[in-house]
A and B are shown apart, each in its own frame.
Chain A
Amino acid sequence: MSIRLQNIAKTYGPPGRGAARALDPLDLEIREGELIGLLGPSGSGKTTLLRIIAGLEAADHTPAPGRILFGDRDVTHVHVRDRRIGFVFQHYALFRHMTVYDNVAFGLTVMPRRQRPTGGEIRARVHRLLEMVQLEPLANRYPAQLSGGQQQRVSLARALALRPDVLLLDEPFGALDAKVRQELRRWLRHLHDELNFTSVFVTHDQEEALELSDRVVVMSNGRIEQIDTPDSLYRAPANRFVFEFLGDVNHLEGEVRDGTLTCGDARLAVELPDGPEELLLRPHEVKLAEAPTADARLPATVTAISPVGAEVRVELAADWMASPWLATLRHADYERLDLRRGQRLYALPRRWHRFPAEPDTRPTRAREAVS
């Protein structure tokens, strides 16, 4: 089922001066069967948006009322109870006085008598769901006797029991440790592909959003900054916020004159008009060398080296840097350079980005460095 939001806004508190804007009016279209990630820092409005889709929170009526459509069904004024959504809470919100089985069966047992499946059907359905989340043997346990990951799977099974049109997940893996998180992520992706429902999940973890979503909605300060596939989001961020939020960033701030950017004793050849300038570089866009080139002379000292997985993270410091830089190297380069802490060498930008002050009027500019 597709989800369409039209002119949805949210203000907390009394209207007037005491009011706090949680969401600026926004439109959003989610296609049938999509898995969408709402990504943003805390306070960006992503959870509010999710709760509005669910109907746990009402969008503003004034100045202009918004609309929420599931497929062709206008659910703006439909109560949560009747929206046919499944909701998974960050801290699971399992009913602690009920067994795993009773938790999953809850939605089926509270249906009006006429629509309620028979006892046998309920039993069969709950056991199928428990099998699907691989918790069949734990059906008679209480939530407190399960691990976090298991609890979240129960909560997912419970949300799916009523065969919702839309599955909404609020930071579903936020309270779990890294390894379980990774596992559950894959498993959710798999489940989504298999059952093909429309899902929206909230996260503040960019890695999670990029790995799991078909499309990511990046939010900040109650606004949507960009909606795109993980791939194009990373390659072509719409503005500086998106660029900085999606990964580590190195800053190079200085003055351009006659095609050369100068900052302390650092120099870089750029094809930019004269004036103050700030360039941004990803850690993998920084190369390290023992000598400067004709175009780039960016001296730096190695302050820390940490081999993490497939790459080596090298921290650099210099007087001209406002904050330390981070460069990621392949192990081969690391060995060739024979890096040690305290070593002095030169950073060579492979590529850089700039986002001029008016992000709305000018598109991203990414340039291959002249080398």
Chain B
Amino acid sequence: MSRLEGTQRIGDAPRVRRLLVIAAVALSALFLLLPLVAIFAQAFAQGAGVFWTNVTNSYTRSAIGLTLFITVLTIPVNLVFGVMLAWLVTRFRFPGRRILQTLIDIPFAVSPVVAGLVYLLLYGRNGWIGGWLDTHDIQLMFAWPGILMVTIFVTCPFVARELIPLMQAQGSRDEEAAVTLGASGWTLFRRVTLPNIRWALLYGVILTNARAVGEFGAVSVVSGAIRGQTNTLPLHLEQLYQDYNTVGAFASAALLALIALLTLAAKAGLEWRAARQEAST
């Protein structure tokens, strides 16, 4: 055969490839997989019975309940907010549109602890708005509404960020076509826009869910961490650890890890579906 046989495509050097694969596998094992295994190992270190006692402990159960409660409230709020925002910046031209698109990213850029502090400053008892609220007997900070507010704050870009590039790429032709065929606002959204964005929307929800469940920094500032009342799962975990209850802390950590794994599975499933759809078109 000719000498062409030995030539490779550009960028396909076997030695480099092998090196990169080994590095990637080693690093993921060391930094991702090992800790995950360690969490479950620690959680079950004294047997399943102790794990179970820790998980069913009334404080832990209340923390799980609060975390799920906050998440369940956060998701629909962000869903509506994200769709509206994406619709606004992709379908309308107005002054300040660019700035708005940058503002969406603030929660990504700002440290969650700072966000928590700002909310405390605004809505706390001595805060600007909080003072007025206090005279009307409304308490937001150190109660679940405060936790909900900061959780919404840190997760609000996820849905919009997923939708904006997609809706920009799709353009408004489909919607124009639907309008020329007589469709009115809600019908148009339900039958044309929504089916076009549904996968991106779900993806955004999954990301929101992951972040809402795991948020620590902002929540720790505004919750007050009252056991059995304003403790979310991540806060509870930290408290257990501070109390030298390692098994208890890791039992909670295992729960969080489990939720994370489920979220990842859902995300992978969605991506697989999207890829299959892409291939069929």
Contact = CB atoms under 8 A, between A and B. Distances in A.
Contacts of B280: 144
A56 B174 CA distance: 13
A97 B170 CA distance: 13
A96 B192 CA distance: 9
Contacts of A95: 174, 177-178, 191-192, 195
A96 B171 CA distance: 14
Nearest 3 interchain pairs by C-beta: A107-B181, A144-B281, A93-B177
**Interface size grouping (class) on chain B:** 10 to 19
Contacts of B184: 81, 110
A142 B179 CA distance: 21
A110 B177 contact: no
A47 to B, nearest CB: 12
Given A87-B177, A89-B173, A95-B192, A110 B182 contact: yes
Given A81-B179, A89-B177, 5 more contacts: A56-B176, A86-B180, A95-B177, A110-B181, A110-B183
Interface string A54-93: 1010000000000000000000000011100111010101
B196 A97 contact: yes
A216 B281 CA distance: 37
Contacts of A94: 177
Nearest to B185: A81
A10 interface: no
Contacts of B187: 110
Interface string A111-139: 10000000000000000000000000000
Contacts of A107: 181-182
B181 A97 contact: no
A110 B191 contact: yes
A212 B132 CA distance: 72
A146 B150 CA distance: 49
Taking each of B176, B180, B184, B196, which has the highest tally of chain A beta carbons within 10 Å of its own beta carbon? B180
A93 B179 CA distance: 12
A9 interface: no
A91 B180 contact: no
Interface residues of B, dominant DSSP? helix
B53 to A, nearest CB: 50
B180 A80 contact: yes
Nearest to B184: A81
Nearest to A97: B195
16 contacts: A56-B176, A80-B180, A81-B179, A81-B184, A85-B180, A87-B177, A89-B177, A95-B191, A106-B181, A110-B178, A110-B181, A111-B182, A144-B281, A159-B180, A159-B181, A162-B181
A81 B182 contact: yes
Taking each of B174, B177, B184, B280, which has the highest tally of chain A beta carbons within 10 Å of its own beta carbon? B177
Contacts of B174: 93, 95
A89 B175 CA distance: 12
B177 A81 contact: no
**Interface size grouping (class) on chain A:** 20 to 34
Interface of A: 54, 56, 80-82, 85-87, 89, 91, 93-97, 106-107, 110-111, 142, 144, 158-159, 161-162
A120 B178 CA distance: 22
A80 B191 contact: no
A51 B179 CA distance: 13
A159 B179 CA distance: 11
Contacts of B183: 81, 106, 110
B172 to A, nearest CB: 10
Contacts of B281: 96, 142, 144
B178 A106 contact: yes
Contacts of B177: 87, 89, 93-95, 158
A89 B176 contact: yes
B176 to A, nearest CB: 6
A107 B180 CA distance: 9
Given A95-B192, A97-B196, A110-B187, A80 B179 contact: yes
Nearest to A86: B180
Nearest to B174: A93
B279 to A, nearest CB: 10
Nearest to B194: A97
Interface string B127-165: 000000000000000000000000000000000000000
